[in-house]
Amino acid sequence: MTHRILIVEDTPAIARVQKHIAQKAGYEVDIAQSLAETKELISEHAYFCAIVDFILPDAPRGQAVPCTVAADIPTIVMTGNIDKQTRDTVEKYPIIDYIIKGNKQAYEYLEKQLYRLPRNKQIKVLVVDDSASTRQYICSLLTRHKYQVLQAADGLEALKELENTPDIAVIITDKEMPNMGGVELCNEIRRIYSNDEKAIIGISGATSSNLSALFLKNGANDYLYKPFNSEEFYCRLSQNVDMLEHIATIKRQANTDYLTKLPNRRYFFEEANKSLKQFKKAKAPAMLAMLDIDHFKAINDTYGHDAGDEVLKGLAICFNKYFENQLVARLGGEEFAVFFTELTEQEALKRLESFRLFIELNSHEFSQANIKFTLSIGFSHSETYQIDELLKQADLKLYKAKESGRNKVV
């Protein structure tokens, strides 16, 4: 989905830079050079957010800011300076942020904000505080930045909310609450989730100097003293969300095959072993297939490794379509595996045969050289709950498929 942004700027050169940044971040851009044009555009379009110059020819005292805010458009204010009078004026309104013009860092920060806003729509934040007014205030700050917001009045409610909504990314919790306080809640969350999975920000109005250390030692990632500045709140929150996403990116890279973007061998073994424990508990047979491109070395020798890579990438796309709900991985070279998590034996075999036939008929479309190739497939179905043994069984079947003429499921 393309988001529409309104840029309010009377200096053409600056407007062009902002437009370039917004388009780079995936936005559709409208530009207004005055307050009058701003009002006209707002009446005609719905905007995801706005970048507003503080001083305009017909709005010299920042009148464009309340105009976009009143239209419920999340607003980033750009200003040439931030003296006390300007800051006081800007902070009267529920804006997203203000940025001082004039250097490269300002526009890099703007770009970061524009990328962050659509991303925030996917991030769930749980606010835990027994004070309804404090919860409402924090929720308003979060909603302004497009976060999905959930609430709880104490630690016990928070744990129930986490159980019902396990993809909550950030928990913001007060210390003193009935039933279960913030420090105990931190401990309970960390029993289930690591710092890599969920960020916890402790907050408190108490004046004790060791509260931040108390929260941090009990599993929190950060701490804020109430009443806090909204600007500091956003900076701390963004840092923690960035940290979670950075860790998730590292994990994804560690678990993903660089060429095909399929899960790699390590991830396959970890996830298959988790599933096998459930299969063993249910006393259900496990199913796994090993798939190998026939004569792949000849493809590399004849057409070159770049063409071979095209074949692998094209095949990976087909794996994702044919085995969408199964665990698929590139084990190495031209060898792939599918661990079946929810199909019957007959359904799995039917799917594999259909996949084999599709590749035989359409493989030439994967590469510029129109290389045709086929697959040999070995299928294992047994009450074996060790991934190594299951792979060994499937590998033996794969060997039989190759020995008996290739391009078949055994």
User: Could you tell me how many residues make up the chain?
Assistant: 410
pLDDT score for 101: 87
pLDDT score for 399: 96
Q: What's the rounded mean pLDDT across residues 125-137?
A: 96
Query: In the chain, what are the domain boundaries?
Result: 3-118, 121-253, 265-403
pLDDT score for 86: 82
Phi, psi of 202 (to 5 degrees): -85, 145
Better-scored residue on pLDDT, 320 or 205:
320
pLDDT exceeds 90 at position 90: no
Residue 171, burial from CB neighbour count under 10 angstroms (0-12, 13-18, 19+): buried
**Identical fold at 121-253 and 265-403?**
no
Contact 228, 221 (CB under 8 A): no
Residues 6+ apart with CB under 8 A from 207: none
Q: What is the pLDDT of residues 284-309, one digit of tens each?
A: 999 999 999 999 999 999 999 999 99
Read off the pLDDT band of 106 (50, 70, 90).
Answer: very high
pLDDT score for 81: 80
Better-scored residue on pLDDT, 394 or 101:
394
Pick the CATH number of 121-253 from 2.40.30.160, 3.40.50.2300, 2.60.40.10, 3.40.50.261: 3.40.50.2300
Q: Indicate the angle between helix axes 345-362 and 305-322, nearest 10 degrees.
A: 140
Residues 6+ apart with CB under 8 A from 154: 128, 130, 177, 178, 179, 180, 181
pLDDT score for 22: 97
Tokens of 237: 């929150």
Provide the CATH number for the domain formed by 3-118 in this structure: 3.40.50.2300
pLDDT score for 15: 96
| C-alpha to C-alpha distances, 342 to 88, 176, 190, 325, 373, nearest whole angstrom | 60, 46, 31, 8, 29
pLDDT score for 226: 87
Q: What is the pLDDT of residues 190-204, one digit of tens each?
A: 999 999 999 999 999
Contact 69, 93 (CB under 8 A): yes
Average pLDDT, the chain: 94
Better-scored residue on pLDDT, 30 or 231:
30
Q: What is the pLDDT of residues 109-118, one digit of tens each?
A: 999 999 999 9
pLDDT score for 331: 96
pLDDT exceeds 80 at position 208: no
Degrees (nearest 5) of the Cα angle 313, 270, 311? Answer: 10
Q: What is the pLDDT of residues 334-368, one digit of tens each?
A: 999 999 988 999 999 999 999 999 999 999 999 99
pLDDT exceeds 90 at position 388: yes
| DSSP summary character for residue 195 | T
In CATH, 265-403 is 1.10.3720.10: no
pLDDT exceeds 80 at position 82: no
% of the chain residues with pLDDT over 70: 100
pLDDT exceeds 80 at position 185: yes
| DSSP summary character for residue 112 | H
| C-alpha to C-alpha distances, 159 to 192, 234, 328, nearest whole angstrom | 10, 24, 33
Element holding 356 (H helix, E strand): helix 345-362
| C-alpha to C-alpha distances, 107 to 76, 82, 217, 235, nearest whole angstrom | 12, 16, 37, 17
| CA–CA gap between residue 165 and residue 126 (Å, rounded) | 10
Residue written as tokens 């019957």? Answer: 344
pLDDT score for 342: 85
% of the chain residues with pLDDT over 90: 89
Residue 51, burial from CB neighbour count under 10 angstroms (0-12, 13-18, 19+): buried
pLDDT score for 85: 79
pLDDT score for 104: 85
